Amino acid sequence: MSQNALNLLQGTLDILVLKSLLGGPLHGYAVARWIRETSDDALRIEEGALYTALHRMEKRKWLESEWGLSENNRRAKYYCMTDRGRQELEAGALSWTRYAEAVFKILGASEPEAAS
C-alpha cells in the first residue's frame, strides 16, 4: 500500500477537494475522510497531498480559511469555498467529465481492423 492507486493529476485532486467543500466549510481531516469514504478508499490519496491542495488553493483565493471550533470543541482550521473556487470547480468538473467520456467511448468501441 505504498503507492497511490492512481497517480492523480494535481488538477483532479483540486476538483475532489473543491467538491468536498460544496456542502459547506470543513476542516482538513473531514475533507480527507469524506474523500476516502466516498471513493471506498479506492483512490488511496496521501493525506499530505490533500493538505497541499488545500493550502495551495487558499493561496490562489479559491478557498478561504477560518479558525473555528470542531464538533468536539477543539480549535480547527475550517476551509470554505470562494466564488472563484466555485467557478474553478465547475470548469474542472466539466472538462474532467468530457475527458472521462472520451476515454470510456474509446474503451467501449470495437477495435479497428488491422491493415495487413
Partner 1 sequence: MRGLNQVRRFFRLAAFRPDPEGDLESELAFHFQRTEEELLEQGMSPSAAREEARRRFGDLERYRRELSRIDRGTVARSRRTGVLEALGQDLRYLLRGMMRTPGFTVAVVLTLALGIGANATMFGIVDRLLLSPPSGVVDPGSVVRLQIHRVSPFTGQPGIWSYLTFEDYRDFLEAGNLEGVAAYGFQNAILGRGDEAEPVHALLATASFARVLRVQPVLGRFFDESEAQPGASRVAVLSYGLWQRRFGGSRDVLGRTLAVGDGSYTVVGVAPRGFNGVDLEPVDLFLPIHAYTVLSGSDRWVASRGYYWLQSVARLAPSASRVAVAEEATTLHLNGRREYVDRGSYPEDARVVLGPLQAALGPDAPGEVGVSRWLAGVTLIVLLIACANVANLLLARGARRQRELGIRVALGISRRRLVGQLLSESVMLAGLGGVVGLAMAYWGAGFLRQVFLPDVAWAESPVNLRVLLFTLALAVATGLLAGVAPAWSGTRSGVAGSMKQGGWGGTGRRSRGQSALLITQAALSLILLVGAGLFVRSLHQARELEMGFNPRGLVAANLTLEGEWEPAATLELAQRAMARLEALPGVVGVGAANPGPFAGMWALDFFVPGMDSIPAPRLMGPFVTGVTPGYLATMGSRLLEGRMFTDQEAASGERVAVVTRNMARGLWPTESAVGKCFKVNEADGPCWIVVGVVENSYLSQITGDMPWQYFLPFGPPALELEMDPGVFVIRTRGDPAALLNTVRAELRSVDPAVRFARVQPLQNLIDPQLRPWQLGATMFSLFGVLALLVAMVGLYSVLAFNVARRTRELGIRNAVGASRGQLVGLVIREAVGVTGVGVALGSALALAGSGKLGPLLFETSPRDPLVMGGVVGVLLLVALVAGAVPAWTASRVDPIQALRAE
Is 84 one of the binding residues for partner 1 (CB under 8 A)? no
- Which grid cell is 5? 492507486
Minimal distance in Å, beta carbon 88 to partner 1? 17
Count of residues of this chain found to bind partner 1 when the rule CB under 8 A is applied: 22
> CB–CB of 51/20 below 8 Å?
no
Find, among 97, 101, 92, the residue nearest to 19 by Cα. 92
Alpha-carbon separation of residue 93 from 5, 12, 113 (angstroms): 21, 9, 34
Q: Select from 19, 39, 49, 84 the one that contacts partner 1 (CB under 8 A).
A: 49
Is 47 a binding residue for partner 1 by CB under 8 A? The answer is yes
Residues binding partner 1 (CB under 8 A):
1, 27-29, 32-33, 46-49, 51-52, 55-56, 58-59, 67, 70, 74-77
